[in-house]
Amino acid sequence: MTWVNDHWDEIFTLARSHVWLAGLPLILGLLIALPLGWAARRWTRVYPVLISTSGLLYTIPSLALFVMMPLIIGTKVLDPINVVVAMTIYTVALLVRTVADGLGSVPDDVLQAARAMGYRGFRRFFGVELPLAVPVIAAGLRVAAVSNVSIVSVASLIGVSQLGNLLTDGYDRFITEEILAGIVACVVLALIFDGLILLGQRLLTPWLRAQGARS
């Protein structure tokens, strides 16, 4: 533990940028995927196009996407924006399908009941469909969160600092403890993200707990 004890400050600084690089794309990705998923649901022809496009985007290896980012958005090679945009692309690719399927999982009779009660358009979407789709969307978000935390560490290879620096530095200087510290820190961060999303889901779907208590 000596290495870790001497480097707490560094670990926390790196963890903070890791949270940004993995967390911000998660929020941006969700905000972009919501209207896209809705559109995929609304127009049947849009669905296959969006699903296959997002599948193709997700196929691109992370390191390759990171280094190609400057070509696409015209940034500098070392700019952290490259990582944020690339991670947002992955998150959107993963979430579009989840959002569309989550909205699709809302039972028809519920939609009809909502309609009969006068829910229409935006109000029906935000008041009925979206809340009921939360469990499915949250499941997708958890997958995205865990994979984002892992993928972001690759960014240390392109010189963007976050917890992955502990991994590359530990390897370059043969400090096994530093690598292990980096791994543990990433796993802990992934678990924290996962727990927060789970907590958010619980808070947003109180009726599920009520059902559980009754049965």
**Binding residues among 70-89 for other proteins as defined by CB under 8 A:** 70-71, 77
In the bound state with other proteins, the residue whose beta carbon lies nearer, of 56 and 203, is 56
Amino acid identity, residue 180?
L
Using CB under 8 A, which of 4, 139, 196, 204 touches other proteins? Answer: 139
**Distance (Å, whole) CA 124 – CA 133:** 12
Task: Write down the number of H helices and E strands in the chain.
Answer: 11, 0
Give the total residue count for the chain: 215
Using CB under 8 A, which of 183, 201, 204, 205 touches other proteins? Answer: 183
Compute φ and ψ for 43, nearest 5 degrees: -115, 115
**Binding residues among 30-69 for other proteins as defined by CB under 8 A:** 55-56, 58-65, 67-68
Closest separation in Å from C-beta 33 to other proteins: 13
Closest CA to 22 of 186, 198, 166: 186
**For residues 11 and 179, is the Cβ–Cβ distance under 8 A?**
no
Show the tokens assigned to 138: 């949250």
CA distances, 106 to each of 13, 31, 35, 128 (Å): 42, 20, 17, 9
Q: Among the candidate windows 5-13, 32-40, 133-141, 202-210, which touches other proteins by CB under 8 A?
A: 133-141
Q: Among the candidate windows 4-12, 79-87, 110-118, 170-178, which touches other proteins by CB under 8 A?
A: 170-178
Residue 94 sits in the site that holds other proteins (CB under 8 A): yes
Binding residues for other proteins (CB under 8 A): 55-56, 58-65, 67-68, 70-71, 77, 94, 97-98, 101-102, 104-105, 136, 139-140, 142-143, 146-147, 149-150, 153-154, 156-159, 163-164, 167-168, 170-171, 174, 176, 179-180, 182-183, 186-187, 190-191, 194
